[in-house]
Amino acid sequence: MTEHLVAVLGRGVVRGDEPVIFADDLGFARGDGCFDSARVVCDEAGARVVNLDEHLDRLAVSAGRMEIDGPPRQAWEALVHEALDAWTTPGEATMKFVLTRGREWFPGQGCVALLTVSEKAAATVRTASSGKAVTRGLRAVTLSTGRPSDAFADAPWLLGGVKTLSYVVNIAAAREARRRGADDAVFVTTDGFALDGPTSGLIVVTDGVMRTAPTGATGILASVTVDEILAAARAEGMEAREELVPTADLFTADGVWLVSSSRGPSPVVELDGRQLSVDEELTARVARMAGF
């Protein structure tokens, strides 16, 4: 049975069957809120959140862009520590931070802040030749965003780069990928560039150069794990750039990864029914750069 935990600001850890959201909560009723997700590791040393500061930073950016007056950083940190003290399930889990604008009928009560922790199934296998642990490969399909790569340049109200609770399009894209017999999707623009996945960032390596799509005008979310990988690559002397990547380049690359904080960098082994190049050593190297 999968383990779960819920902690609410002002109440602490609560029972899993205890109500925490009112029917008029704007996050529930309108998706008017934001969230973030981070990796949790629980071992002999206890439970800890990987890159907690970076995830709380990104949550604060999302809240600021949405003009939600969220709780102070120290309150989130205290709630995290309380949840970690109560989490004893060995292995890996995902911590999800949720912040809503609060109640529509009683706006004076302020925002709602909570977090959940959910046990995560192992996502790694060992390669036949090297024996190194790497994340399972994915079959993916390209799905159009229906807009060009600079659609968010002059439209801040579209909330590009904000991890909002209005996530139904992302979930619909993941569902469409499964409908087409794939594990995941890569969003592509109408002017021919690859952006990211419904719940992940994108990394492409070609001829020793690592690339990922830029944030800003593209509207994609800044990825904590992608940034970590790029920084590690540069520290190792590898050229790493943020630039628009033509979709066609994915089919000729040395490696393509969909990257999330919970599952790490997952190599894409097939795209739109075409086999992609998978270098075991490079895949293991990118996983190590991400701390997996």
pLDDT digits (tens, 9 = 90+) for 222-233: 999 999 999 999
Residue pair 254/279 in contact (Cβ under 8 Å)? The answer is: yes
Residue 121's pLDDT band, with cuts at 50, 70 and 90, is: confident
Q: List all residues 6 or more positions away from 168 whose beta carbon is below 8 Å from its beta carbon.
A: 31
Q: CA-to-CA distance for 230 and 15, rounded, in angstroms?
A: 40
Last residue within a domain, chosen from 100, 121, 142: 121
233 and 106 in one domain? no
Give pLDDT, residue 127. Answer: 43
Query: What is the pTM for the complete model shown?
Result: 0.93
**pLDDT at position 130 over 50:** no
**pLDDT at position 146 over 60:** yes
Sign of CA dihedral 13, 14, 16, 20: negative
Last residue within a domain, chosen from 90, 106, 121: 121
**pLDDT at position 135 over 70:** no
In CATH, what number is assigned to the domain containing residue 65? 3.30.470.10
**What six digits make up the tokens of 80?**
């995290």
Q: List all residues 6 or more positions away from 100 whose beta carbon is below 8 Å from its beta carbon.
A: 21, 25, 26, 27, 28, 32, 33, 68, 111, 112, 165
- Bridge partners, 141 (sequence order): 185
138 and 262 in one domain? yes
Helix 52-65 crosses helix 73-86 at what angle (to 10 degrees)? 130
Residue 1's pLDDT band, with cuts at 50, 70 and 90, is: low
**pLDDT at position 43 over 70:** yes
In CATH, what number is assigned to the domain containing residue 163? 3.20.10.10
Domain, as residue range, for 104: 4-121
Question: What's the chain's average pLDDT?
Answer: 94
Q: CA-to-CA distance for 280 and 267, rounded, in angstroms?
A: 10
145 and 105 in one domain? no
**pLDDT at position 128 over 90:** no
Provide, rounded to the nearest whole percent, the portion of the chain with pLDDT above 90.
93
9 and 113 in one domain? yes
Q: Give per-residue pLDDT as tens, 271-280.
A: 999 999 999 9
**pLDDT at position 123 over 60:** no
**pLDDT at position 126 over 70:** no
DSSP string, 192-224: SEE--BTTBEEEEEETTEEEE--SGGG-PPPPH
> What's the total number of domains in the chain?
2
Q: CA-to-CA distance for 203 and 240, rounded, in angstroms?
A: 10
Helix boundaries (H) for 151-276: 168-179, 224-235
DSSP string, 66-87: TT-----HHHHHHHHHHHHHH-
Give pLDDT, residue 134. Answer: 56
Q: In 10 A of CB 123, how many CB atoms? A: 16
216 and 156 in one domain? yes
Give pLDDT, residue 153. Answer: 97
Q: Give per-residue pLDDT as tens, 63-104.
A: 999 999 999 999 999 999 999 999 999 999 999 999 999 999
**pLDDT at position 129 over 50:** no
Element (H, E) at 62: helix 52-65
Give pLDDT, residue 122. Answer: 63
Query: To 10 degrees, the CA torsion angle through 222, 233, 205, 213?
Result: 20
Closest Cα to residue 187, out of 230, 147, 154? 147
156 and 82 in one domain? no
Q: CA-to-CA distance for 201 and 33, rounded, in angstroms?
A: 21
**What six digits make up the tokens of 162?**
């904000």
Last residue within a domain, chosen from 71, 101, 121: 121
Q: In 10 A of CB 199, how many CB atoms? A: 19
Tokens 């490696």 sit on residue = 255
